[in-house]
Amino acid sequence: MMSMNLVQLFAVTPDGPLPLPVPASARHIHDLFDSLPVGVYTALATFDHNKFLLLDDHLARLENSLFLIGWDYRLDRIALRRALHEVVSAYPLSNSRLRLDVLARPASQFKTESRLLIALSPFYPIPESLYLDGVVVGTTRQLSRSEPLVKKAEFVLQRRACLEADTNLYECLMLDEDGYLLEGTTSNFYAVRDGVLWTAGHGVLEGIARRLVLQVAADLGLSLHMDPVHIDEISHIEEAALSSSSRAIIPIIQIDDQTIGDGRPGPITHRLLHAYQDVVARVIRPACEEQ
């Protein structure tokens, strides 16, 4: 029987998902990996209990990360999909937050040769107030991705200090050496200036939600500029937002000490959010379609 703990860890094996022991102190999926060999990962959440948003895209990005760092590891998508369907379907809450990791070497302390782990923890709906009122974010020059296209697990440890330094911030935006706003530590970043949507075209993680945002923006006929906004230009932007696959699109009303626009979420952000949510409702699918 699978443990009914709300924080769970599994090794993906040829015989299916193998439950692994979870420390009593673990409150979040990231807590489970502090003592494990670091690797590459992807993080996502479920919808309607056992459905996923663009799961193939998540798996493709995981495989691309493995390729870019030169690891000789082949992801068994069929076994992984079956394991995902089993563990999320049995999860006791309506939705779960997941992290998939390919470790640098097997988690030998658990007496398994598997390098592929699935971690789950509760996922609760984002408060509606964040979408209606927006969030406050900060900027940092102390944090960057050395290989932006590789989703490295070690980055999870590096980014903690940024958000822990100021608990009033919802997110930290990373600046490049020239002062351009690239992305958040857990999200992609967008700005609206003169009715044009701006977002960094390179030097950032290829977020799964970002792909959907760009598709939705094109469908809406919005003008798109694939370049980052400079920190000195914040006072000139009318709207700002962040995106991630578990949070959709959240408006930003303040960056550091500078108010964005009139301090309220703007119309373009709202149009993007509503269109994005409509697409999500249509495309979410179980990990195993035949189930």
Fold match, 8-122 / 128-281: no
Domain spans, the chain: 8-122, 128-281
Closest of 72, 101, 137 to residue 10, by C-alpha: 101
Closest of 187, 186, 173, 169 to residue 141, by C-alpha: 173
Phi and psi at residue 162, to the nearest 5°:
-65, -50
Flag whether pLDDT at 2 surpasses 70.
Answer: no
Report pTM: 0.91
Distance (Å, whole) CA 87 – CA 116: 14
Q: Give the pLDDT confidence of 77-117 residue by residue, as tens digits.
A: 999 999 999 999 999 999 999 999 999 999 888 888 999 99
> In the CATH hierarchy, which top-level class contains the domain 8-122?
alpha beta
Is residue 224 within 8 A of residue 197, CB to CB? The reply is yes
Flag whether pLDDT at 212 surpasses 70.
Answer: yes
Q: Give the pLDDT confidence of 52-69 residue by residue, as tens digits.
A: 999 999 999 999 999 999
Find out if CATH 3.20.10.10 is the number for domain 128-281.
Answer: yes
Helix (H) / strand (E) element for 23: namely none
Is residue 47 within 8 A of residue 246, CB to CB? The reply is no
> Two tokens at 148?
């932006």
